[in-house]
Structure 1
Amino acid sequence: MFFRKKKQHSMQVKRIPHNDGIDIGIELVSGKDSQELSLPLSKEEIENYYKLPGFQAYVCWEELYDAGLLTDSRLSYEDYYQLLDEETGVELLEQLQLPVEEMNVNGELKLDSLPELAELKLVLKNENAQTIDRIGRRNGAIAVINQQLFLLPGKVYELQKAIEAEYETGYQKIGVCQKLANEAHIDQEDFLENESYHVVDSYDLEMKVHSPNHIELQPVGSTPDETTVLGSPSPVTTYKTSNKRDRFVRTEKISRDIIQLSKKRHITGEEVPLFFENPLAVLPEHDYEFDLEAFSERVRGIIPIEKVRPYSQGDSGIQWFDPEADQPATYDEDFLRTLMEQHPNEQYIQHENKWIYLDPQMRKNLLEEVVEEDQSLKKNFTLDIKDNETDLEYRLEANDTEQVQEYQIPQTLKADLFDHQVEGFQWLCHLEERSRGGLLADDMGLGKTMQVITFLLHQKNQGKLSPTLLVLPVALMENWIEEIRKFAPDLLSSLYIHKGSGRSKSSAHISSYDLIFTTYDTLKIDQLLFGKINFQSIICDEAQNVKSHSSQRSRALRAMKSEFRLAMTGTPVENSLEELWAIMDFVQPGELNSLKEFKQQFIEAADYEGLLKAIQPYYLRRTKEGIFSDRLPKKEIKDPIYVEASKIQKSISESMLQTKETGQIAILNMLMRLRQLYGHPGVIIPEYETLPASEVPKVKEVMSVIDRIKEKDEKVLIFTEFRKLHSIFKRLFMEKYGVSVPIIDGNTANRQGVVKEFNSRLGFGIMLLSPKAAGVGLTITSANHVIHYTRWWNPAVENQATDRAYRIGQEKDVSVYQLITRDAQNFPNGTVEELMHELLENKRELAENVIIPFDMRGVQEMVSSTIISNYSKQLEQ
């Protein structure tokens, strides 16, 4: 009787190097038969293969795929070398049986032709002086010797690429390759040793100031020789010293630049200050490599430019102001008017060794303001605006400064604010400080008017109130005046109501007031009058009154000039989402793109969730019930799961404390390492990477949670910012559960594709995500469990991360889990995880009290400060 031996199945790595990268594949081997697998494996394939020897190699292969580093299974050598700079990357390459140590080589660069042909050859030898091309073969960065792969040094690979690349001239090619050969410590044959080529591919511009109305631009190289080459008519310049020659070669791009520069080397007259303000206006064909900001700052100290603009100063009328010097200018109107009349077509005028910039609006004011009543108002003219309806023609950028500060309630406010009103006031100040507009969309009865009155008092205290325009329905005007009289009487001293037949026809007179009230229809009629005024703020109450974007009300409002814009309405949409677009195109022009794009992106796609996210930085709405209460299932934040640190973790944390590190940076680094340690010791100590889950309490507990989710045949999202944890978890979870575990972090190139694949798979699934990289822009409603494995500093970021699953389209109740490690032995006052949890929960209500929260990025600094204070005390003990 014969017994047939059972075939052994395994998964093996297949590696094929090419000139530009290495193909990586996984084969399913059964005896003498093999089958090449494709990425990604199906759920059924993973379930069949995950217990086979070599499965971890597949996991690493898939990890490269998740990160977008594979193109048709090929890993480029550029990405290969970049992976070598990362600890996790080295481990991935090792699992895939790829070399991670650079080969010791030496060699010689040879020239096999005349210099102008530049036929170069690189001969490499190993440490035994064997020529590599004789004992093996080279494919890009990989040398194959006796069927074993060796990795060439990165600089050698760069040199090899340069030899194979195309150049403008042979001289340029030799120059580039000689430079790389020196960096790679590669010898050069005698001819190349004695004949050095240098490529001039960059330069600086220096200025010689002859007078305030005459400067000269001079190209300067990194060495005196290069400077000489830049001024030479020939693109190649040779210098000979003893037996050696140095040849300097200009690139075609640099030669073109020099030719263009020579046409405008001397800049004179009014073009001097114009060049400092906008070099492109003087040299439209330029392609010069110099730092315009540094250039401009340096020159202004030599040739002053004074910008004179009008501003209103109480009863004294129009004054003149230089915003660059931040102080009044010492000119009277007659002097400035005379300058303008003498130079009718010039904006820059030289006077007493400096340039005066005459603002066009000031010119118009001085030369035309003598007519008290604007004659054009008698005509039925309207302002033609860039309406952003078909194309995005006008966009107003916001300041993204992250600094968050507390604003004091003005002492002149004669009212006690509710908490949500204080919050709204802070939000308004926050927006104005950052040059952002806002849409205050609180439900009726929550006191929008009071929040804005408090903001107006704050602006008055800051000297930023005059002039401010309030546009509102006539029926609300008396209510506003009564509210101001009762709670902010200081605002009454300079308040002007612009309505009726006796209203002013002078822009200067109107702008001399702190507050100007008018109606939507009056603004429409007097839009040319108001359009001249530079308002500090424009505030619209019941902003839905602008109605259609094509209405004259809407177009007039959007034509106004202001530093800050606020729309107030409890019903931003009455009939159509186009009404919201019209309001937002006033609040922050361009933020919702053109109306045409808005319709395609949000209206036609019915993407209401996406719309809410788009307006989030400018939108504050509080309602009594919450706007999502009837759209989404319940979201249950589970009680925290506490675990006690393992012996290994306690030992490591104890050794950290014994270092007695001091200083803020050192303590912050320790806090990060402690967070990583409690997540998994292998994150900070590689030899612990393969610890079984039973020896890492947090991992053991998270797998218990996952086991329960798997029993329900549901999906889970696990958030942590530590990429090493992603890698450990991916290998651990795929080996235990036999499912694909995709990762989305800052390196994931195809986030939407990864999500689509994950959402399409039925049943149980796990995804690993970074809260910052994956916290926005993704809809993963196929999952209804969220685990915050390591906490993020800002509860709003965690909420956004949770909302990847808890959003429109979710059909199941969403469960949110938090795991916290205790270590009473070393941290009796609480571990970093315990302290973070306590502080984050204290701030969660603030982060959740609006559907679209305002910017709370400052919470991270506050949390960090509190934790540092706690640990500093413990370190002192």
Structure 2
Amino acid sequence: MEPPISTTLNEVDILIQWIGKNKPFDVPQPPLTAIERKWAIHLSELQNDDLIAPLSPGTWSLAYADVYQFTVEQLNILDLPVPEPLTASVYSTKTESGRGRMFGLDLRNDEYGVLNRNRRRGPFIEIAPGNFILPEPGIFQLEQAISAGPDTEHYESENAAQQAYQAKVKSLAEQVGAKVEPWLEREQYEFPSSIGVTLVGDLENGLQVQPHPTGTEDSRLQELLTRSRGENGVIWRGEGRNRRRLILEPNQREVLRELDRRGGKIQPEDIPEFLDTPEAFLPPGIDLSDFSERVKGLKIRVYDSRPYLHVRQDKLEWFPKLEINLDPRLDTGQVPGVETPQSPLISDDDYLNKARKAMEAGRSSFIHSGSIIHFDPNAITPIAKLDEIVGHDGIRGLSGTKKYILDIFENIESLEYSLDIDEEISHDVDEQREILEFPIPVALQATLRPFQETGFKWLCTLDRRKRGGLLADDMGLGKTLQVISFLAARKEDDQVSPSLVVLPKTLIQNWFEEIQRFCPSLRVAQFRSGTVSDSAIFQNFDLVLITYDALRTNQVDLARIDWNVVVCDEAQAIKNPTTGRSTAVKGLKSQMRIAMTGTPVENGLSELWSIMDWVQPGLLRSRLDFRTEFERPIVDADDESSRNRNVRALQERILNHYLRRMKSEVLAGLPPKNIHRLETALSSRQVKQYHDAVSRARNGGRGAMLGCLQELLLLCACPWTENEAYGVQGTPDDLKQCPKLGALLDKLDEIRDLREKALIFVNRYDVQGMLQSVILNRYGLRTDLINGKVTGGRQDIVNRFNDQHGFQILLLSQEVGGTGLNITSANHVFHYMRPWNPAKENQATDRVHRIGQEKPVHVYLPIATWPDGSSESVEEVLDRLIEQKMALATDVIVPTAKMPLDQEVMRVVFSNEPN
């Protein structure tokens, strides 16, 4: 059947028009055929991904420059030809001046012959009226390079531009197998993939930075590259047929010029910082991928220092002892099979004095006995202050115990870094736990509920006592508002600028809107990416929003900023202490640290430790200590009383830094949440597919069994192939093959009659597409979708959904749509396919069951059961185990399972195959 669209290749772009009899964009929407539904969904996805631009209802445009971004499947959807190879030959003619050559390209197709004079539309070649072919991308790039000619704008001489032109044409021709003339084939060109650096020198005299071409075969070209200083884009060695040319791109030449302008010399006092953050000294564009290998050749020993201040109290006197451990960071002097040399000795006085002087100069390292010693200023300051008060004694020996550690103190195997000194020496526990009184900020344009006011005052109290805190309120209790209130109070005291909020990309727009609504006087900006040339720019804003990934990319620059407050929203993003995200967050300097998450424990207690280790380093001691003291006794407890005793001990430990309230405790007026299980028996088609899948998995081993679980869950929700799914209309025959779908539609019919809204959560893209098709056919609704493919505009989709009246449906995935979104205009939630983690399911439901909800919330769990009840289907097993874990999922302290849920389901499903 012909697709219901037409595609026209115009002079400037491609025009796409809907020509189907029934138009999905009409209001009200008419019934669509299966093929019309399929293409309506395809076009909606392409538009959501910004691949096509809407011009008017039923008309879209596509830029020729974007054609090669499309997959073969997407080109087929638009009825466009897919890329195909052509036979190509490059020829040349002399220029009028006779000093250069211009190239041309002969293209041939076995079926259509020579194509040189055929009409062109962007990259497309017309082979018959209205019939086009699309050359492979390399052919189009070669054509573009040939037609562009020599780049005289970026090369100082006509000859250099000509040589670069010839080299580029030859390189692109070789990539697509195009023939070239003999003289061009003999020419030898080198294209460095990037410009790296070679280091020469030592700690005493400084380092000389020399450019190094990477990706070239001739290492002797480095000397020529160094001498050229980027003045000419073409460098050659040898004569005649042995001549080899090194061709530099304009941006590479600019890198060389900038390196030359900076002198390429690193003074001895700058070497520690240079080795740590070379990008601060080198021009943008330098390739640092092999920098660590270059550093090893210098044989400079680099250490991370970890000072310990051990305090022993005897009657009324304090006896402190300062001990300093040095761990080799880059063990450049070690030779395989040879014992590592003893680390240098340093006295307490020497260490503290050199660290103080380095801090005064804005540095976090110093040179001692021919080695570089790094330190953390945040660890030095409290030790130095206490040292001034009570004194110190002794010289401690230093020995390397690890080959390598990260740039921050990890607190993994031992407690390396702690900010808990003030609290440890405090004896008045009751006073420490008291929440102080603070006035509500005048600029706050919101009325706080009593529990929110308590949260605001709790944050202010933590700030007064110089502590960090984890705000772990249940979803929907207004954690963002409480933090904004605290920041507004800080602004009134002129202590907020600059502060940083680290958050997932999906929450940025929500934060902007919340600030504008509740405290518009806060000056807020979003940091995207780029080098921070002047940190003073942040003083122009009270609050800077940045994503976790942008922080990881720009951590070197942002770690130098003295932030007032750092907030981590959805702080489960730093639940793994060794990831780049955690390292970037823990490397930030701040006066106050706030973590926000309703689910700090999703899979294991180590996640809580990682978050608290940032909030208040040292509170839970090292990761190893925490596992011994709390995690193993809680998770492996044989009896409930023992487990509860250890849970209470952990709660007691974090009490001063942790606040969690549940909706059931503080929102007496919140409408009830009702859970409905919609059980339907598997169809005969599904039973057969189920048996076949289990049989295949049994023969394939453990890995096949894990994969089979996903297959079983999919066939319960959608027993059709992906191509078949687009034709599903929700007919009686469709519902006979998938009764679970029928249960969903029956409830949606009731919701339609009530003129209310529903969310449907499902993580599978193919099932989302099937549901879009069915909903479009049954209700005439073009359903928006929030999943991992929707890269932007998620908040716009939610706002549009919230603003619409009457019956509406929104499709979401639990992973993407389950956090940070407020969708209280809906009061019906379907978990059509359930996640393995109960906490994820609770998070998704709480998009609806939260402050602002005025109607009773109904949560539906469609479950495909085994027909005769003789056994349990995979969905029945999953539901039973989730139910057992769900109570634990509401407890921030207790992980949801000893064993991952998919492993438990697999064990049950394959231990007793149904009949």
Q: TM-score range by the shorter chain?
A: 0.5 to 0.7
Once the two structures are superposed, what CA deviation does each residue of 1:277-324 show, in whole Å capped at 9, x if it has no partner? 33356x265642213873598479642346374623436523131353
The DSSP-based 3-state class of the residue aligned with 2:884 is helix
Distance in 1 between the 2:762 and 2:99 partners? 56
CA displacement at 1:94 relative to structure 2 = 3.7
TM-aligned CA deviation for residue 242 of structure 1: 6.8
Residue ranges of structure 1 left out of the alignment (5+ in a row)? 1-9, 31-36, 375-398, 402-431, 436-458, 471-513, 521-538
- Report the 3-state secondary structure (helix = DSSP H, G, I; strand = E; otherwise coil) of the residue aligned with 1:767: strand
For residues 135-214 of structure 1, the aligned pairs below 5 Å read: 135-141=118-124, 143=126, 145-162=128-145, 168-169=154-155, 170=161, 171-195=163-187, 197-208=189-200, 210=202, 214=206
Aligned match of 1:271: 270
Change beyond 3 A, Cα 1:162–1:247: same
Q: How big is the shift at 1:814?
A: 2.6
Q: Secondary structure of the equivalent of 1:842? A: helix
Contact preservation (8 Å) 1:592, 1:598: no
The DSSP-based 3-state class of the residue aligned with 2:817 is: coil
Which aligned pairs between 1:493-572 and structure 2 lie closer than 5 A?
A: 514-517=424-427, 540-545=432-437, 558=463, 565=469
Q: Which residue of 2 aligns with 1:626?
A: 665
Q: Does 1:60 align with 2:45?
A: no
Letter in 1 for 2:372: W
Q: Within 5 Å, which residues of 2 pair with 1:284-295? A: 285=283, 287-291=285-289, 294=292
Would you say the 8 A contact 2:207–2:268 is kept in 1? no
1:663-719 Cα offsets, whole Å, 9 max, x none, are 654433222233223222334x64575465232333333233333333333333222
* AA in 2 matched with 1:84: T
Residues 1:175 and 1:68: Cα distance change in structure 2 (over 3 Å): same
Q: Which consecutive unaligned segments of at least 5 residues does structure 2 have?
A: 55-59, 156-160, 314-318, 330-341, 392-405, 443-455, 523-566, 571-594, 601-657
Task: Report what 1:26 is aligned to.
Answer: 18
> Are 2:471 and 2:659, in contact at CA under 8 Å, matched by a contact in 1?
no
Q: 1:603 aligns with which of 518, 537, 543?
A: 518
TM-aligned CA deviation for residue 583 of structure 1: 8.9
Deviations along 1:164-214, whole A, 9 cap, x unmatched?
669535444554444333333333344543445444351332334556654
Residue 142 of structure 1 deviates from its aligned partner by: 6.5
Contact 2:359 2:377 in 1 (8 A): no
Which amino acid counterpart does residue 814 of structure 1 have in structure 2?
Answer: V
Query: Would the alpha carbon gap of residues 545 and 252 (structure 1) be closer, same or farther in structure 2, given more than 3 Å must change?
Result: same
1:721 and 1:772 in contact (8 A); partners too: yes
Letter in 1 for 2:426: I
Report the counterpart of residue 235 of structure 2 in structure 1: 237
Query: What is the CA deviation profile of residues 384-425 of structure 1, one whole-angstrom value per residue up to 9, with x for unaligned ones?
Result: xxxxxxxxxxxxxxx9x9xxxxxxxxxxxxxxxxxxxxxxxx
Instruction: Report whether the alignment pairs 1:102 with 2:63.
Output: no
Q: Give distance in 2, aligned partners of 1:702 and 1:556.
A: 49
CA drift at 1:724: 1.5
Contact 2:202 2:300 in 1 (8 A): no
- Residue in 1 that maps onto 2:843: 800
Any idea what SS the aligned residue of 2:273 has? helix
Q: Does residue 814 of the first structure (1) align with residue 857 of the second (2)? A: yes
The separation in 2 between residues aligned to 1:370 and 1:805, in whole angstroms, is 54
Residue correspondence of structure 1 range 441-840 to structure 2 within 5 A? 467-470=420-423, 514-517=424-427, 540-545=432-437, 558=463, 565=469, 580-581=486-487, 590-591=500-501, 600-601=515-516, 603-604=518-519, 615-616=596-597, 620-622=659-661, 625-631=664-670, 633-647=671-685, 650-651=688-689, 653-655=691-693, 657-660=695-698, 662=700, 665-683=703-721, 686=723, 690=727, 693=734, 694-748=736-790, 749-823=792-866, 830-840=872-882
Shift of 1:61: 1.9
CA contact 2:786–2:811 (8 Å) conserved in 1: yes
1:248 aligns with 2:251: no
Residue type matched to 1:469 in 2? Answer: D
Could you tell me the percent identity over the aligned residues?
22
Q: Equivalents in 2 of 1:764, 1:341: separation in Å?
A: 66
CA distance in 1, matches of 2:191, 2:85: 29
SS of equivalent to 1:22: strand
Aligned 8 A contact 1:543 1:569 in 2:
no
Q: Compare CA radii of gyration and give the structure with the larger one.
A: 1
The answer on whether the counterparts of 1:306 and 1:354 sit within 8 Å (CA) in structure 2 is no
Paired position in structure 1 for 2:900: 862
The answer to whether the 8 A contact 1:66-1:742 is kept is: no
Q: 1:630 to 1:572 in 2, by over 3 A?
A: closer
Measured after TM superposition, the shift of residue 789 of structure 1 is 1.3
User: Are the aligned partners of 1:136 and 1:146 in contact in 2 as well (CA < 8 Å)?
Assistant: no
Describe the SS at the equivalent of 1:317.
Answer: strand
Secondary structure, counterpart of 2:19 in structure 1: strand
Alpha-carbon contact 1:56-1:735 (below 8 Å) kept: no
Structure 1 residues 53, 648: CA separation in 2 closer, same or farther (over 3 Å shift)?
A: closer
In structure 2, C-alpha distance between the alignment counterparts of 1:20 and 1:861, rounded to whole Å: 58
* C-alpha distance in structure 1 between counterparts of 2:746 and 2:914, whole Å: 38
Q: Distance in 2 between matches of 1:116 and 1:803?
A: 73
Report the alpha carbon displacement of residue 540 of structure 1 after superposing the two structures with TM: 4.8
State the one-letter code of the partner of 2:321: I
Pick closer, same or farther for the CA change 1:553–1:793 going to 2, 3 Å: closer
Q: Structure 2: how far apart are the matches of 1:195 and 1:182?
A: 13
Which of the numbers 341, 353, 363 marks the counterpart of 2:370? 353
Counterpart residue type for residue 843 of structure 1: K
2:651 corresponds in structure 1 to none
How far apart are the structure 1 equivalents of 2:305 and 2:410? 24
- String of CA shifts for 1:226-261, please: whole Å, max 9, x gaps: 535522414312356875864322123323333444
- Provide the secondary structure at the position in 2 that maps to 1:654: helix
Amino acid at match of 1:153: E
The answer to whether structure 1 residue 41 and structure 2 residue 25 are counterparts is: yes
1:644 Cα deviation (Å)?
Answer: 1.0
Distance 1:786 1:359, change over 3 A: closer
Q: Which residue of 1 aligns with 2:587?
A: none
TM-score, length-scaled by structure 2? 0.63
Decide whether the 8 Å contact of 1:638 with 1:815 is kept in 2. Answer: yes
1:353 alignment partner AA: G
Length-normalised TM-score, structure 1:
0.66
User: What SS class does the counterpart of residue 773 from structure 1 fall into?
Assistant: helix
Q: Is this contact kept in 2: 1:653–1:674, CA < 8 A?
A: no
Deviation, 1:96, is 4.0
Contact preservation (8 Å) 2:112, 2:127: no
Counterpart AA for 1:64:
L
